[in-house]
A and B are shown apart, each in its own frame.
Chain A
Amino acid sequence: MELSMVLLIPAVAATLAGIFGNRAHAAAAATLIGTLAAFLLSVHITFGPALGVHGRILGLAGWLSCDYLSALVLLLVSFVGFTATLFSLGYIGSAVKAKGLAGTARYWVRYNLFLLSMLAVPLLSQVAMVWIAVELTTLLSVFLVGFEDNPEALEAAWKYVVLTCMGAAFALIGVLILYWGLRTSGAGEFTWAGLTLAGPRIQPAFLKTAFFFILIGFGTKAGLVPLHTWLPDAHSQAPSPVCALLSGVETTTALYVILRLLPVLTWIPGHPAGTWSVSFGLISAGAAAFLLLQVKDYKRLFAFSTIEHMGIILVAAGLGGGAAHLGATYQIMAHAVTKSFCFFAAGATLLITGTRKIDTVRGLIRTSPVAGISLMLGGLAIAGAPPFAVFISEFSIIKAGLAAGHYVIIGLLTLFIAIAFCGIMYQINKMVFGRPPEARAAYRLPATCAAALAVAAIPVVLLGVFIPAPLHHVLKLAAFALGR
């Protein structure tokens, strides 16, 4: 019941936003109320008694289901969905006014539909339907990426749709082979739970081929190197609140599908799925760390950091073991809340300075203390400085890997994390401090943008020093779902 409600809310909000048409304020209000309701409902699902007792909630006659891993993704999507709505209120208004763009109402319709597709990914239980939901997250966000309607944004949108659809076709054949393997092995439902149960009875050849194609396919969407080329473009050209959703949680929903398959394959001798995940993860983290060093655009900086984080999560999930899995779920959470905050800070900077170039932004802390402090906070938090959540999750992954004796892998990972840290902090430092280039006319940040920054900052600051016990419980059980 709650599960279908979560999906119903953005659908209703999208319809309302469509009906309100030109009255953009009404459409925005409907979205704000809708996303807040969806977030509160997700909190209720995640921490409510039903999930605690059974460990799983079913809805719509088995078409929807929610266990702790889904609940974690659901919670993160709905939280970022809410803060990004808050940020959009001021940002889209300013962007539309400044550039004479048409259609804030259309923005809200698309925003709600995009959110709907992302909320559906963790909740759908049928694997075939999950594939469709992931594909829809791309298709429903293409025009959000191209919202600013200039050649660069359209180029980014084109690369985004072509490469991720190409990935989706590879993932589709993977899903079909998985189904074939399941049918050949006898019975079992084609759901996540059914697959995990039937896993050991399915011939390894099916599982390995299926996993390979799904890793490539959805890995494209999660931004794994070498199929990441669309990601920095799309994540830098989209309006900043959309970037927060794309980078913070859309990549996570794609990765979620890969993570769901890992426990199905763990029994195969040699654990090929783990090896592939670790190799892809290391390559992504390494390539992103070096590409970070040469960016000229601060939104691209955060986009490359997303690729790095996806790589780290995949390495942790691939290494296996309870401690590494806990590190992976912790990193998923830390990444989602921190990266969305970073993009809000980048959006605020863009509103104030009007440029994406790192070289032209100096002394931000004097021009605008709010944006300067946010950018510094976001930079420190995402780069993994203590005492923020990303530091703790990366530290626990490194610790778990060392305890299990994966010295080479962890050594490389630590090196990449350190390089990325220096790259991010070097650029952010230059932007925040120093002498402002010239006296620009004072620009006041819209109140809703500041409010969004404040709300999004709460978990960023808090989760590094204090994790509420129920949340820790959810993270632990979500990590449990990654293993058998």
Chain B
Amino acid sequence: MNQLNALAGGLFILTVFGIVGLRQVIGCLRLFVMQSVLLAVSALILGIETGSIHLFAVAGLTIGTKALLIPWLLYRLLSHEIHARREIRQVLNIPTSLLIAAGLTIFAYFTVRPLLDINSSAFIRVNLPIGMGGIVVGAFAITMRREALPQLLGILTMENGAFMAGISIAPNLPLIAELAAAFDVLIIALVTGLLTRRIHRRVGTTRVGDMASLKEE
């Protein structure tokens, strides 16, 4: 079971790298769906192992909102964006970005290292560093990408990372908190999706990185 979870975790961090390095929007969105499925798989494995009913709920909620509802929502709101065949513009080139992302993952591991020494099951040892890596690399993706939808996927990746860590370290959170968090992620996707559509209509582009009329002189 532990090895299966480690496999899911390893694939998860690969999808996170993909969010930084992939050149096309539709590929990033597919990766995000895969990432969410892997999160659900990990939650399922942990649920079976610890016998916690909450984790099954998390797995179900993750599949329902992140793998089905959010992609559907984004397709409805932003289909022209998703099917754009152009390359995503970024601040640094892709190899450099990936190298920095790898460095950040190692950094994330060392930030949680003191916690692993105090209390850790085998699952926490896998999920916490990987989740933390997802958060840090997701934040990096937001700063690197100059377009709206990839930035949104960066935020959602950060949330996924937090949940990846959360299912191992806080498996008994009240169910209402998990429900509310799933709802919250859905609202993030809805609000940013709507906002992106409005920016596209009003400004004619979704390269939010190029919007720089507001700054200090």
Contact = CB atoms under 8 A, between A and B. Distances in A.
Genuine A/B complex: yes
Interface of A: 126, 128-129, 132, 135-136, 139, 142-143, 146, 149-152, 154-159, 161-162, 165-166, 169-170, 172-173, 176-177, 179-180, 183-184, 190, 203, 205-206, 209, 232-233, 236-237, 291, 294-296
The 4 residue pairs across chains A and B that have the minimum distance between CB atoms: A169-B158, A180-B169, A128-B177, A155-B211
A294 B216 contact: yes
B112 interface: yes
A169 B202 contact: no
B135 A183 contact: no
A169 B138 contact: yes
Interface string B189-210: 0011011001100110000100
Contacts of A142: 191, 195
Contact of A151 (B188, B192, B203): B203
Given A149-B198, A173-B131, 11 more contacts: A151-B211, A154-B211, A155-B199, A155-B214, A170-B139, A173-B166, A176-B166, A176-B173, A179-B169, A179-B170, A296-B217
B202 A150 contact: yes
A294 B174 contact: no
Contacts, number: 141
Given A149-B198, A151-B203, A233 B169 contact: no
Contact of B172 (A155, A170, A183): A183
B148 interface: yes
Contact of B135 (A135, A173, A180): A173
A126 B177 contact: yes
A183 B194 CA distance: 39
A206 B115 contact: yes
Q: Which secondary structure dominates where chain A touches chain B?
A: helix
Interface residues of B, number: 50
Given A146-B195, A154-B195, A154-B203, A169 B155 contact: yes
A158 B148 contact: yes
Contact of B114 (A155, A173, A209): A209
B118 A203 contact: yes
Of B112, B135, B216, the most chain A CB neighbours within 10 A belong to: B216
Interface stretch (B23-31, B50-58, B73-81, B179-187): B179-187
A158 B199 contact: yes
Contacts of B155: 162, 165-166, 169
B187 to A, nearest CB: 5
A172 B131 CA distance: 12
B151 to A, nearest CB: 6
A209 B115 contact: yes
B202 A151 contact: yes
B162 interface: yes
Contacts of A149: 198, 202
A156 B212 CA distance: 10
B165 A176 contact: yes
Contact of A169 (B118, B139, B203): B139
B114 to A, nearest CB: 5
A212 B120 CA distance: 21
A129 B195 contact: no
A417 B213 CA distance: 29
B183 to A, nearest CB: 8
B214 A233 contact: yes
B118 A156 contact: no
A172 B214 contact: no
Interface in B27-46: none
B170 A176 contact: yes
A164 to B, nearest CB: 10
A155 B208 contact: yes
Given A169-B135, A169-B155, A172-B162, A209 B184 contact: no
Contacts of B212: 155
Of B119, B148, B158, B214, the most chain A CB neighbours within 10 A belong to: B214
Nearest to B118: A203
Nearest to B183: A132
A155 B138 contact: no
B2 interface: no
Contacts of A236: 214
Given A151-B211, A205-B118, A170 B135 contact: yes
Nearest to A141: B191
